[in-house]
Structure 1
Amino acid sequence: MTSKPQPRRLSLCHIATLTLAAFVSSSGAFAQTGTQTVPAVPQKTAAPDAAQQPDRAAAYYHYMLAHEYEELAMTTGRSEYATRAGEEYKLALNNDPTSKFLNNGLAELYYRTGRIRDAISAAQEQIKKDPKNLDAHKLLGNIYLRTLSDGQQNSASDEILKLAIDEYNTIVQLEPNSIEDHLLLGQLYSFAHDSVHAEQQFDAAQKIDPGSEDTALNLARLYTEQGDTKRAITILNQVPPDARTGKTEFLLGATYEHIKDDKNAIAAYQRAVDLDPDNLDAERALAKLLLANNQLDPALKAFQDIAAGDPSDPEAFLRISEIQRREGHYEDALASLKKAKALASDSIEISFQEGLLNDALGRYDEATKIFEKLASDSEHSTGQYSEPEKNNHALFLERLAIVYGEANQTDKAAATWQKLAELGTPFADQAYESEVDAYRDAHEYDKATQVARDALAKDPSNRARKLMLAGQLADNYHAEEGIDLAKSMLSKQPSDLEVYRALATMYTRLRRWKDAAQAIDDAEQLSTKPDDKLYIHFLRGVLYERQKEFVPAEAEFRQVLVIDPKNSMTLNYLGYMLADHDMKLDEALAMIQKAVELDPQNYAYLDSLGWANFKLGKYTQAEEQLRKAVERNSTDPTVHDHLGELYEKTGRLKLAASQWEESLSEYAHTLPADTDPGDVSKVQKRLDNARVRLAREGSAPVETTAKP
C-alpha cells in the first residue's frame, strides 16, 4: 500500500491517522488498479438517527477517503476524483452533521476544485448556522480574493470587492489581533480607492506591532499613492534598521527617486542590494540611477554584477557598453555591445548605441549607415506619429545630422535638420538653430543667415527665431540691424529677460564691453530662478574673460558651479581658461575631464582636455585628444594651432607647420566675432619660425615618438 499524506487542516485529524490507516489497510479499503493506488468504492453508511450520538469513527473514515480523493483530484486533474471526494465528505457529514471541520472541508473542496458557486453556497450555509465561524468567513473571503485576482475590472468585480471588504471586516472583528487580516482589509480598501479606511486598517496593524515591516510597507505605498511621499519616507525610516529587509530599502529608494532625491535613493538601493545580493531588481534600480548621475565606475560594477547574475539580460551588457564608451574604452565597449546584440539582435536601442560607438571611434560611414536606417525605419509616410514614435524619429534624425556634420557633409546635415524641423513643436526651433550652427561651422555664414531668415518667415511671431536672426546679423557684418531687431522685442515684461541675455552675448562678441555689462545688469534685474541667476554669472564670466580679466572671470564661473556643479559648459570654459594661462593645472584638468564625461563627443571639450594635458606635459594623452578634436571639427583654427604646438613640442616640426597653415586658413574664413587678432598673429609667428627652421635643416626632421 502506498503511504498516505498527512491531513492538512486540523490537528484533530492526526489523532485518528494511525488507527484509521491501520483500519483502511486491514479492511481492504484500497484496491490496486494498474500502478495507480486508488480508494475502493466504499459502502455508503446510513445517516445516524437523530436521537443517536454522532458516529465520529465512521465520519473520520469517510473524511480520510475524501481527503485521498481530493489529493488525487488535485494531482491528476481528473474530475471523477473530485466527485468521489465530495461524496465521501457528505457520507462523513451523515455521521457527524454538526462538524464545523467537515463542513468547512467540503466548502474548501469545492473551492480547490473550481466549483466556486458551490463553495460560496457551502460557506454561506455554515455562516448562517454559526455567524462567528471564522474558518467559513476566511474561506469566503479567500474565494472573493481569488475571484478578484482572476477577473477583470468591471461592475461585477466592483461588487465582488464590496463583498470581500464586508467579509474581512467581519474577520477583523472575530480576530482583532491579526496583523495579516488588517493588512488584507487595508489593501482591499486601497484597491477600492478608499484611502481613509485603508489607513485605519494599516494603523490598526501598526498598533499591534509598531515595528512591523509589512505594515510600514503598506502605509508607505498608500501615502505614495496619495502623493504624500515625505510621509511615506518617514514611515519607512521608522522601521528599525536591524528589522528591515531589502523590500523596505528598495521601496525607500524608489520613493526617494520619485522626489528626485538621488543621493538618498542611491544609498537606499545600495542597502537593499547589501541585504539581498540576489535581488537583481534592486541592483538594476541602483545601477540605472548611478548611471543617470554619471557615477560611471560604480554603475559599471553594478551592471557587471547584474550581467553575472543574469547572463541573458541584454540591457546589462548594453549599459556596460555605454559606460565603457563614455569612459573611452572603445574596444571593451564593442565587445560588450556584441554580447548585447547576440541576446537581442532586433533591439533598436542596441543599434542606436552601436551608431554612437562608431561615431565615437570616428567611423562616420558605419555610424551614418546605422542612423540612416534607424531614421528611415522610424519615418511614417503619412506624417502621423504617436508621441513616443515622434520622439524616437526625432532622436535618430538628430544623431544622423550630427554625424553628417562631423564628416564634413554640411549639406546633408542641413537637409536632415530640415527634416527634424518639419516634425514641428517642440523640435523645430532647435533644428533651425542646429542647421544655422552647421553652416557656421563650415564657415558658410550667408547660408546660416538665410536659414535664420527663412525660419522666422515661417513663424514671424516666434521670439526664439527672431533672436537667432538678430544674433546672425550682428555677427555677420550687420551689427546695428541685429541689435535693433533684438531691441524691438523689448516690452517691459518679464519676457525681456531673454532679449537682454541675447543682447549681452551680441555686445560681448562685438567687443562693446560697456553695452554688454549694461545688458547683463538689465537681465539680472529680471532673473529670479536659480537657472536664470546661473546664466547671469556665466555671461559675466565670459565678458570678463574676453577682456582678459581672468580673476573676476574665474569668480563668476565658480558661482555658476556652486549652483550647478555639473554644468559642462562652465566646467569646460573655466578649465580651459585656467589651463591656457598655466593656472591651477591639476584642477583645470579635473574640471575638463568632468565636462568630457558629461558630453564625450564634444570636440571643444576634447580640445580643452588635450590642451590641459599638453600643459601638464602629458603629450601622448594630449595628442590622442587633440587629434580626436580635429577629426570632429576640422574648421576650428584653435584646435589646429594646439595640435601644431603638440607636434612642435614632440619634435615633428613639419607636421606642426602643416597644422599652423590649416589654422591660418581657417582663421581667414572665420567671422571677426570668433577671432582674436592676437591669436592670429601668434599662429603666423609660429608658422614663420617653423618655416625658417625647416629651411635651415633642408629637409623634414626625423619624427620622434611623443613621450608622456
Structure 2
Amino acid sequence: MAIKHAPAWCIIGLALWLAYSALNIGIADVLYPQEPPLQPKHWIFSMAPSQQQPRIKRALSWTPGNPWYWQVLGHVSRRTQPQAATQTAELYYRRALARTPTDPYLQLAFITNRQMSSKKADHIASLAPSDPEVHYRIGNALATDQTAIRFFRHAMVLNPAFYPKTLQTYLQRHGKTEAIWRFSRAIPQTSQGHYRAAKLLESLSWPQARYHYLRALALDKTNPDLIRQLADMLQAHEDHRGTAKMWRRLQSLNPDDATVYGALANSYRRQRDHVRWLQTLRQRVARFPNDPAYRDQLADAYLQLGQPAAARDLWQGLIRAQPQATVGYLGLAKLYTSQQRYGQAIAMMQRVVHLAPGTVPHHRRLAQLYEQTGASASALHEYKRLVALRPDHPWALYHLGEHFRQAGAYARAITYYQRAHAIAPDQAVYLYQLGRTHAARGEHHLAIEAYQHALSLNPDDYNAHYQLGISYERTGQPALARHAYQQVARLAPNLLAFPKICEHLVCAAPPPSHKSTTQLKHPAPSDS
C-alpha cells in the first residue's frame, strides 16, 4: 500500500520543497529588495552596524546565488570593520563577481576597495560606456589624480547634472583654487560646457566665471542669447565697458532690435560717456522714427546733460506730430519745472490731465505744481477731481489725505487714509501716515495701534519704529519706547547719534547738536 502511494508522496514532497524555496526567495526579495546599482543611502546603511551583517547573511542563507547581497556585505565590511575591511570586503566582492563579472558597479566597488589604476578604470568604463553615474564614480575614486578628468568630462557630456557634482567633488578634495582649476580642465571644451561652468563658478570666483563666459562666446560668436546673457552678467558685476562691448556685438548681429540700442545707451550712461550715450539714442531715433518713446528718452537725456533747447525742440516736435498724445506735454512740463517756469508747466500738465483724465501720477503732479505756486485751493480741487474720477484708487485717496494732513485738517486726512487702507490693506504707508496724523492730534493710543499694524506689514521700517517710540513716551511707557528706539538703532545704525535715540540708548560718542525735531525723514511713496 505504502509502495503504491510512494510516487504521490514524492510529488507532494517535491511540491512542498519547491513552495518552501519559493517562499524563502520571495520573502528575501520583499524584505531585502534588489536594486542595483547600490546607492549609498540605501536602507541597509541606515541600520545599526551590529544589525547590518546578520540581516544580510540571513538573506544570503535564503538566496545564496544573489550577487547583490555579497556586494552589500562588502560595503558593510568596509564601513564597520575598518581595520580588516580590505580583505573581508574583497572576499565578498569576489563571490559577487563570480556570478556577475560584467556588472560595472560591482567592478567599481571591487577595484575601489583596492587601489584604482588607469587600466582598471578604463576596463570598468568599457562595461558601461553610456552610464554617466559609472564614469562619475570612477572620477570620484581618482579625484586626486589627473586621470579623473576624462571620466568626469564623459559623465558631464552624457548628463549635464554632473557639472555641479564634479565641482563639489573637487572642492571636497582640494583647496578652492586647485578645485576650480581642475574643474575648468574637466569640463567639455564646448560653448555650452564653458557656459555651464561659468554659471556654477559665478558665486565662487567672478574672474573665473568671466573667463568661461568669454570662452563660451569665442566658441559660439553668433549666439544672440549667449551674448545677451553675458551682457546681463557683466552688468550685474558693474563691468560697464564689457557690457557695452557685448551690446555692440549684438547690435551688429541684429541692428533691428530696438532694445539693444537702449541697453547700449544705458551702458554708456553708466560709464558717464555722454557723447556715446547721446549718439546711441540718436541712432535709435533715426532707425525707429515712428516711436515717440525713443524721442522722449533722447530729449530727457538732453535735459539731463544741460541742453534744454535740444530737449524742447524734440518735445515740441512730438506735440506737432501727435497733438493728442501726452508724451510731449509731459516732457515740456518737466523742462519748465526745471527752469522754475511754473505757469507754463501748469499749462502743460493741464493739457495732459485733459488728454488722460484719471491717471493718478498726472493729477498728482499738477496738484504739486499748484502747491509749489501757493495755489492751495487749486491743488485741493485737483485732488478732489482725481478722487471723483478714481474713487477706488488708494493712491488717489492717499494723496488727498496727505494734502489735508499738511494743511492741518487732521480729521479729514484720517478719513482718506482709512479709506485708502480699506482698499489696499497690505500697504504699510497708509497706516504709517494714519499713525502720524493721530499723533499730531494727540491721540497717541490710536497712533500706537496704527504704527504696530504698519510694522506687522513692514517690520524693517525704522521710521515707524521711531514714531512708535515717541508715542510710547507720550503715553508713559518708557520701557516700550526704549525697545522701539533699539529697533531703530538695529535697522539704521547711522541714526544712533540722533538726539531722541541717544536719550534712551547709550551712544558710542556724544551726539552732535541737532535742532529739536520729532520725526525722521520718510521716503515719499510712489504711485505704482
TM-score category, normalised to shorter length: 0.3 to 0.5
The two structures have a TM-score, normalised by structure 2, of: 0.45
TM-score (norm 1): 0.35
